[in-house]
Amino acid sequence: MSGLWVLGYGSLMSAHGLGPQAPLVRDAWPARVGGRRAFAKPTSRGTVAMDLVELPRATVGATRAGGDPDRGDRFGGLLLLVDAAASHALARREAYPEAAWRRLLEAAGARGLAALLLDLARGTGDDVLAYRRALREVAGPCDLEAYHYLPHPVVTDAEPAVVFVSPACGETGDPACDSVKASTPALRPCRLDRLYADGARGLAGRFDAAAQASYVDKCLRAVAHGLDVSDLMGDGLTLDDPTASLLAAWRADAAVLEGERAALRALVPALRDPAAYARRFPSAPAVLV
């Protein structure tokens, strides 16, 4: 079975965030992603995770970095090539039913999972809910209490990819299994300037500020690779905001982000040559937002 490109737009954008899934990654490219992301998905750890919100179509658009960086409708992401045969570990990380993931891989066969998902999207007019119903038909029943993320296709200027998106309540495409978001109806998509206030309110007493700060750290380390995260900043951070303190610490100690760059180079075989990394990530190191 060949490789599978996966688009990361949250904690998958850093070596630190990849964690136990890091050995799966064989290659990586910076990307510019169309759409909107926000902190919007509740987790069992008392945090709010990243999500692509208000999808206008089932298919997400992305280009490898090198396009116009000033387009306001595009943000930074990371395209990761993983071994498709071992990708169930990544699906498990995103809390997508492992049995369903295996059925999708089997249905895709030699053409690959990303191509299968693109066919499903095209066959349903690229309508989000119709696509998810078609996905459910192929993937089969969910053996979890709720869906956390669903795989969606990504069209790029190279090979197609897969991205995980958390559905809104009643929009899983599966009448027997709703979204995890149904458990937190007061939670609304937010950016960093509102994350700690809105997260505490939306998770109704279960919010863990320390765990949230750890997750934000994993996401924002993407700046070490020149990935644009300015869309996450919102209207500005107060001096006592945890994220402001995090960025100030990174400005004071350049070794943190240099360590992130070194870690990604060490983890990804295609980037172990420093010259190869420099060609792929010409904006690294980035100026902190």
CA distances from residue 139 to 93, 116, 171, 200 in whole angstroms, order as listed: 17, 11, 16, 35
Residue 3 bridge partners (DSSP): 83
Taking Cα atoms as reference points, which of 168, 184, 244 lies closest to residue 48?
Answer: 184
- As a whole number, mean pLDDT of residues 180-189 equals 96
* Pure H helices in 76-190: 88-93, 98-108, 113-123, 128-139
- Give the separation between CA 253 and CA 256, rounded to whole angstroms: 6
- Give the separation between CA 194 and CA 188, rounded to whole angstroms: 10
29-55 pLDDT, tens digit per residue, is: 999 999 999 999 999 999 999 999 999
| Residue appearing with tokens 């069992």 | 44
86's tokens: 């071992």
pLDDT of residue 205: 87
38's tokens: 């926000």
Cβ neighbours of residue 113 closer than 8 Å, sequence gap 6 or more: 4, 84, 87, 104, 105, 151, 162
87-145 pLDDT, tens digit per residue, is: 999 999 999 999 999 999 999 999 999 999 999 999 999 999 999 999 999 999 999 99
Its pTM stands at 0.95
Q: CA angle at residue 248 from 238 to 33, to 5 degrees? A: 80
